[in-house]
Chain A
Amino acid sequence: MNPQFKKGVLELIVLESVRKKDMYGYELVEEVSQVIDVNEGTIYPLLKRLTNERYFETYLRESSEGPPRKYYHLTAAGILYRDSLEAEWDEFQMRVSRFLKEGKGHE
Chain B
Amino acid sequence: MNKETFLEELRGYLRILEDQEQEDILAEYAQHIDMKLQKGLTEEEAIRDFGPMRELAAEILEAYHVKPEFDEKPSSRLPKLKESRGITNAGESLHKTGSFLKEKCIACIHGIRQGFQWCGRKCRALAAWMWKPFSKLSTKKKGTQAEKAVINMQEVGQPEADNQEFLANGAYGGQIPLGEGDLKIVKTVNIEQRQKSSLVSVFIRGLIKIWNLFVRFCIWWVRLFWNLLWLFMALLFGGMTLITLAGVGTILVLLPQGYPLAGTLLICLGGMLCMGALSCGSYSLILHGKKEGQDAFEEETEDAAGNITEQELHDETEEDYEKNA
Give chain A's interface residues, CB within 8 Å of chain B.
25-26, 29, 39-42, 44-49, 52, 65-67, 69-70
Contacts and interface: CB of A to CB of B under 8 A. Distances in A.
Interface of B: 24-25, 27-29, 31-32, 34-35, 38, 49-51, 56, 59-60, 62-64
Given A45-B59, A48-B63, A49-B62, A65 B25 contact: no
B31 A26 contact: yes
A41 B49 contact: yes
A49 B31 CA distance: 19
Nearest to B29: A44
Contacts of A48: 24-25, 60, 63-64
A39 B54 CA distance: 13
A52 B64 contact: yes
Most buried by B among A42, A48, A69, A70: A48
Contact of A41 (B24, B38, B50, B62): B50
A29 B31 CA distance: 12
A64 B5 CA distance: 28
Nearest to A67: B31
Given A26-B32, A42-B56, A52-B63, 14 more contacts: A25-B28, A25-B31, A25-B32, A26-B31, A26-B35, A29-B32, A40-B50, A41-B29, A41-B49, A46-B59, A49-B62, A49-B64, A65-B38, A66-B34
A77 B114 CA distance: 82
Nearest to A24: B31
Contact of A69 (B31, B50, B56): B31
A72 to B, nearest CB: 11
Contacts of A52: 63-64
